[in-house]
Amino acid sequence: MTRATPLPASPASGQLNTQLLALVTAAAGWAALQAALALKIPDLLEETPMRVTELAERTGTGPARLAQLVAVLHQAGIVHRVGDDLVEHTAASRALRRTGGDPSARWITADWIAVAWGRLADGLRGHGIPFELAHQRPFFDYLAETPAAADTFHNAVTRGRGSALTDMIAATVDLTGATTLADIGGGQGELLVAVLARNPGLAGILFDLPAAVRSPLAALVIGEMAARTEIRTGDVLREAPAGVDVYLLRSTLHMLDDPDCVAALTTIRKAAAPASRIVLVEMLTDDWAQEGYTALSSLQMFVLSGGRERSEREFVALLERAGLVFHSATPTGTPYRLIEARVVSTAPGR
């Protein structure tokens, strides 16, 4: 019997395999992490190191197999292995706890998001939005029906960027002559709080779907700011607060596809007064060179809800399709730019 001759390796194959192995290692680490979450390992670990045999008992797994998983989790920094048979928390496993963990860590590792990424190829082939293919309903319907998921998402959005960044954005929004501002798709109101804090004479409206506005920040519910804030439930594809001076939308449009962006902007134009201003706060694809994250975020918006990140030119085109007039684009000193538009006409039928 003749032995097969191996194909000659191309000069680049070693490098290529290293590159692919890095991706495969990351994918295996991701799978190990998902298993750890499914087994509730971050929640079951205690403050003192635990024996792998005890963790196996608590997770209903075999100790030898669990030790294999623990070894990979240790390499990925998810848990810390002490000797051969003890395991303890790391900052990552603490962040991943259901209670007392970090909402952003829970969000980026959520299994209900992971399964949506698993339908990416089907989505790219035009079979639907990956999240809807995985869950048989749109992302925002899922949040409405799953309060724990809604809290994970909205808490992560609120805490994910950091208050310093939000404050820089709030400082850049031009509110000359404005007495009212509506934060459309404002989530729990992080940006609205920052804007109201800087502008004591301003009255605010937090406008979002029910799953978002059921857990607004405390500053909008109790105290001085609450007295000048109205919290309103609504779908901007159908309605918007009437006659407000400034309509603010941060990261709302990147979750929507182009027709829904045009529908939302048209709804706002029809509700607005002639002198109203519409201010979009978005990470633009023009800035991809500086912000590598924007490419991943863009694909994630498709996976979740059919949205994407856009360029300034694309936003200007959407504004025009909605009958609005582009006014200016302003850097904020953050990865976000402000895109301001004005109302052309509020005459019926436009």
Residues annotated catalytic, as ranges: 254
Shortest distance, position 230 Cβ to ligand SAM, whole Å: 15
Segment lying near ligand SAM (by CB under 6 A), choices 3-11, 44-52, 234-242, 326-334: 234-242
Residue among 42, 83, 84 at smallest CA distance from 67: 84
Residue 170 binds ligand SAM, judged by CB under 6 A: no
Segment lying near ligand SAM (by CB under 6 A), choices 4-12, 53-61, 130-138, 207-215: 207-215
Please give the Cα distance from 239 to 92 (Å, whole number): 42
Shortest distance, position 212 Cβ to ligand SAM, whole Å: 4
Please give the Cα distance from 325 to 317 (Å, whole number): 10
Residue 255 binds ligand SAM, judged by CB under 6 A: yes
Residue 186 binds ligand SAM, judged by CB under 6 A: yes
Report the chain's C-alpha Rg in angstroms: 24
Question: Helix, strand or coil for residue 79?
Answer: strand
Is 187 in contact with 157 (CB distance < 8 Å)?
Answer: yes
Residue 340 binds ligand SAM, judged by CB under 6 A: no
Determine which residue in the list 56, 110, 181, 191 makes contact with ligand SAM, applying CB under 6 A.
191
Shortest distance, position 76 Cβ to ligand SAM, whole Å: 28
Shortest distance, position 245 Cβ to ligand SAM, whole Å: 18
Segment lying near ligand SAM (by CB under 6 A), choices 107-115, 185-193, 312-320, 323-331: 185-193
- DSSP annotation of 306 reads S
Residue 306 binds ligand SAM, judged by CB under 6 A: no
Please give the Cα distance from 118 to 329 (Å, whole number): 36
Segment lying near ligand SAM (by CB under 6 A), choices 75-83, 116-124, 182-190, 222-230: 182-190
Please give the Cα distance from 246 to 195 (Å, whole number): 12
Distance of alpha carbon 231 from its chain centroid, rounded?
A: 22
Residue 196 binds ligand SAM, judged by CB under 6 A: no
Positive or negative CA dihedral for 116, 119, 121, 125?
negative
Determine which residue in the list 251, 276, 285, 298 makes contact with ligand SAM, applying CB under 6 A.
251
Residue 250 binds ligand SAM, judged by CB under 6 A: yes
- DSSP annotation of 127 reads S
Residue among 223, 222, 154 at smallest CA distance from 190: 154
Residue 230 binds ligand SAM, judged by CB under 6 A: no
Segment lying near ligand SAM (by CB under 6 A), choices 78-86, 109-117, 130-138, 233-241: 233-241
126-155 mask for ligand SAM (x: CB under 6 A)?
--------------x---------------
Q: Specify the residue, 125 or 238, whose C-beta has the smaller distance to ligand SAM.
A: 238
Give the per-residue SS3 of 233-278.
Answer: ECCCCCCCCCCCCEEEEECCHHHCCHHHHHHHHHHHHHHCCCCCEE
**Burial of residue 2 (number of CB atoms within 10 Å: 0-12, 13-18, 19+):** exposed
Q: For binding to ligand SAM (CB under 6 A), which residues are involved?
A: 140, 157, 185-187, 190-191, 208-209, 212, 235-237, 250-252, 255
